[in-house]
Chain A
Amino acid sequence: AQSVTQLGSHVSVSEGALVLLRCNYSSSVPPYLFWYVQYPNQGLQLLLKYTSAATLVKGINGFEAEFKKSETSFHLTKPSAHMSDAAEYFCAVSENTGNQFYFGTGTSLTVIP
């Protein structure tokens, strides 16, 4: 069975500081991994995805994530936080094309001016 754990339901960073949002997964097969962002009263927007190509994945808005098989992790980072990055971030895993996504519980990012 697949599952996703996001450590830290709330993360606060200062504007310009490093953003690190953690995601660990469990999967019986090599997974596909995703990060989505949800702004207030909006849907889920894809930030980036890992689909068994390069382990360091670059996404939109300056975010990137690194797939580490040995640690079963897919942490999301951004070198310098902007106020506009304040949102809810969800990590998700899927085993195959067309299969359901399993989501983590989400991390709410606050950016302090």
Chain B
Amino acid sequence: EPEVTQTPSHQVTQMGQEVILRCVPISNHLYFYWYRQILGQKVEFLVSFYNNEISEKSEIFDDQFSVERPDGSNFTLKIRSTKLEDSAMYFCASGGQGGPYEQYFGPGTRLTVT
């Protein structure tokens, strides 16, 4: 069964460093998303991406964040200068083809900023 994959599973970085989180969505899906889950809190939407552009973003998704679909298969989230409060589990999701309503989530990348 097709699934969303994410790498790395765990990333440790120092405050102020740039990180890139990578996702491979399910092929032929049209919508792509990033969410985050701070430990013990609910899953929060960051950004959605459709037709090679951002379609929606939350107030969390400020200028420090960017997304890219560089090669038609990968979907990346870049944090330019990490802060301690960026420590969280980051989930990638895709959807919109075959099952247009649901979103399929990857296993997540745990980001730890020290």
Residues of A within 8 A of B (CB): 32, 34, 36, 42-46, 49, 51, 90, 92, 94, 97-106
Contacts and interface: CB of A to CB of B under 8 A. Distances in A.
10 contacts: A36-B105, A43-B91, A43-B105, A44-B43, A46-B102, A46-B103, A97-B31, A97-B96, A98-B100, A101-B45
Contacts of B30: 98
Q: Is the interface of B mostly helix, strand, loop or mixed?
A: strand
Interface in B16-72: 30-31, 33, 35, 41-45, 48, 50, 55-56, 58
A51 B103 CA distance: 13
Nearest to B110: A41
Contact of B91 (A44, A94, A97, A99): A44
A99 B102 contact: no
A98 B31 contact: yes
Given A100-B45, A101-B45, 10 more contacts: A43-B4, A43-B107, A46-B102, A98-B30, A98-B96, A98-B100, A101-B35, A103-B43, A105-B41, A106-B42
Contacts of A97: 31, 96, 100-101
B48 A42 contact: no
Nearest to A90: B43
Contacts of A36: 105
A52 B14 CA distance: 46
A27 to B, nearest CB: 14
A92 B60 CA distance: 19
Contacts of A103: 35, 42-44
What 6 pairs between A and B have smallest CB-CB spacing?
Answer: A100-B45, A44-B105, A43-B107, A103-B43, A105-B42, A43-B105
Contacts of B41: 105
Contact of A104 (B42, B95, B96, B106): B42
B104 interface: yes
Interface string B83-114: 00000000101011000111111111000000
A104 B107 CA distance: 19
Nearest to B43: A103
Contacts of A45: 105
